[in-house]
Amino acid sequence: MTIDYNERIPNNVGLANDRTLQRALEHWQPKFLDWWREMGPKDFASADVYLRTAVGVDAQGWASYGAVKMPEYRWGIFLADPVADRKIGFGDHYGQPVWQQVPGELRSQFRRIIVTQGDTEPASVEQQHLLGHSCPSLYDLRNLFQVNVEEGRHLWAMVYLLHAYFGRDGREEAEELLARHSGDVDKPRILGTFNEPIEDWLSFFMFTYFTDRDGKFQLKSLAESAFDPLSRTCRFMLTEEAHHMFVGETGVGRVVKRTLELMKELGTDDPQAIRNQGAIDLPTIQRYLNFWFTSSLDLFGSEVSSNAAGSFANGIKGRPDEEQYQDHVCSEATYELQTPQGSQTVSLRNAMNEIMRLSYIKDCEIGVKRWNMQMQRAGSDFRLALPSPRFRRTIGAWAGAAADPLGNSISREEYDRRLPEWLPSEADRAFVRSVMQRITASGKIAGWIAPPDRGINSLPVDYEYVRLS
Ligand code: BYC
């Protein structure tokens, strides 16, 4: 189905045929734009940015590229094409036809999960509000803005579902999505990670690698949902999400590459010597990784969760790539969980958050292996590593446990004393910010990061991806 761009709100959901819904969304649109102007990328409203915009939902040729001023970006509502005769793939309703409406008894659970998903999207834009000011190149600046406009579109995706299927409650929730703000003391965003500031590009790359990857897993699990409009919405969001994780993986890889080049040039791995050259030493990169990975692990919720069991049983949320499993009902199966109190046997349904977290960790390993290959090839003995999921947790069975990054239990005193070794200190953050001076000359790049291997959409790396007026 092609997208109708003549509409005020581009869409492939036949909005013109539902005047009430269309009016409600057109009423929300200026509020979104006000929010974007105030909380979106600061000071780049008049820049021409080489952006991709969704123009269809086919796997091939779904996007067009061109120079756009961000406030004029065509945010719209796009659902992946329906799958004929789709059946519910898990839980108590396994094998029954999927739902085109939300069953009355599941309204509040569905609404809660859609609101939680929706809340993360504008939150991430708010977290990156000032980042454009310290961009390492026009290529990177463009990627930041691409991620930002698409997170804005993902907000639209959830707001559409709220307006179309949840009546007045849904409209009120859509207003609230613009009223909560990342890091706001009185009205913070719902999930922890989305209240952490992103004030430097190393954090941005870690966030797009680790936190967007949580997005991938949550969206995959919602793509399994028995509520078909939610499933179709999430399937299309996943198409856009891949680029965000690419920005993270290649971003960290380019920082590592630059550091390795300097280590070779200087003949040392001394962190201070690297810093003196205005680049970021490998131990500091590890501390940033520790911070964002552990924070993102918390986003999967508690190891034992009756909410997760209910979501699975009721068809709200399956496991990512549910077809990989044999048992889709899981009413009898159990799961062996390790907690600080010892081993515990729980019903598999209650352990769904943990199952998802483990698949996520496996996926996170892939990039770490690639970064480590770079080090091996460069002859460095340093290796990055994911810390244990027992380390620095604030949600679930291991919340507040004193464990080191290898997962060993240590005394509270040792934990408190050594935590600054494992996480970025204020001095680390100040140093990282200090090297991030804005570079906006075409084809130029900051000294702390290597250039990308290739440009966007087959354009050269030194293309003027953002024209600043
Ligand atoms: N921080 O039984 P529990 C993305 C709450 S990222 C604060 O442990 P449950 C993106 C939980 O809400 C993907 N609170 O787990 C990435 C519940 O609160 P209520 C985002 C937390 O219920 C980058 C209570 O603790 N999408 O898209 O299974 C850029 C007990 O919960 C946290 C989703 O997460 C936390 N870390 O919740 C842009 C999908 N963890 O209701 C975008 C939607 C848990 O008792 N959300 N809590 O007040 C969900 O599926 C689930 O709500 C959770 C797990 C994954 C959050």
Q: Probe ligand 1: pick from 302, 316, 350, 394, max atoms within 8 Å of CB?
A: 302
Q: Probe ligand 1: pick from 307, 346, 347, 363, max atoms within 8 Å of CB?
A: 307
153 within 8 A of 240, measured Cβ to Cβ:
yes
pLDDT of 63 reads 87
Q: Probe ligand 1: pick from 209, 217, 218, 360, max atoms within 8 Å of CB?
A: 218
Give dist(CA 358, CA 341) in Å, integer.
20
Q: Which residue has the tokens 């492939």?
A: 12
The tens-digit pLDDT sequence of the chain (469 residues) is 567 777 899 999 999 999 999 999 999 999 999 999 999 999 999 999 999 998 878 777 788 999 999 999 999 999 999 999 999 999 999 999 999 999 999 999 999 999 999 999 999 999 999 999 999 999 999 999 999 999 999 999 999 999 999 999 999 999 999 999 999 999 999 999 999 999 999 999 999 999 999 999 999 999 999 999 999 999 999 999 999 999 999 999 999 999 999 999 999 999 999 999 999 999 999 999 999 999 999 999 999 999 999 999 999 999 999 999 999 999 999 999 999 999 999 999 999 999 999 999 999 999 999 999 999 999 999 999 999 999 999 999 999 999 999 999 999 999 999 999 999 999 999 999 999 999 999 999 999 999 999 999 999 999 999 999 7
Q: Probe ligand 1: pick from 119, 225, 299, max atoms within 8 Å of CB?
A: 299
- Nearest CA to 387 out of 305, 287, 274 is that of 287
Atom of ligand 1 nearest to the CA of 192: 1
**Ligand 1 pocket: which residues have CB below 6 Å?**
112-113, 116-117, 120-121, 124, 151, 191-192, 211-212, 214-215, 218, 298-302, 305, 307-308, 317, 353, 395
* Ligand 1: residue whose CA is nearest its atom 2: 305
Give dist(CA 225, CA 1) in Å, integer.
22
Whole-number Cα distances in Å, 321 to 33, 118, 149, 355: 35, 22, 27, 12
pTM strictly above 0.75: yes
* Ligand 1: residue whose CA is nearest its atom 37: 301
* Ligand 1: residue whose CA is nearest its atom 38: 121
pLDDT of 2 reads 63
pLDDT of 59 reads 73
Atom of ligand 1 nearest to the CA of 217: 13
Atom of ligand 1 nearest to the CA of 299: 36
Residue 301 alpha carbon to ligand 1 centre in Å: 6
Residue 300 alpha carbon to ligand 1 centre in Å: 6
Atom of ligand 1 nearest to the CA of 396: 8
Give dist(CA 70, CA 148) in Å, integer.
9
Atom of ligand 1 nearest to the CA of 113: 43
Atom of ligand 1 nearest to the CA of 302: 8
* Ligand 1: residue whose CA is nearest its atom 49: 113
* Ligand 1: residue whose CA is nearest its atom 33: 117
Give dist(CA 56, CA 365) in Å, integer.
33
